[in-house]
Amino acid sequence: MTASYVEIQGAQADIDLWDGLIKDHNALIGAMLQRMSQVASPEAEWFDERITEAESIENRLVVGLDRAQRRLRGLI
pLDDT band at 20 (very low <50, low <70, confident <90, very high): very high
- pTM of this structure: 0.80
Q: Phi, psi at residue 5, to the nearest 5°?
A: -55, -40
Which pLDDT score is estimated for 76? 85
Instruction: Please choose, from the candidates 29, 31, 34, 35, the residue with its C-alpha nearest in 3D space to the C-alpha of residue 62.
Output: 29
56-73 pLDDT, tens per residue? 999 999 999 999 999 999
| Distance in angstroms (rounded) separating the CA atoms of residues 64 and 51 | 20
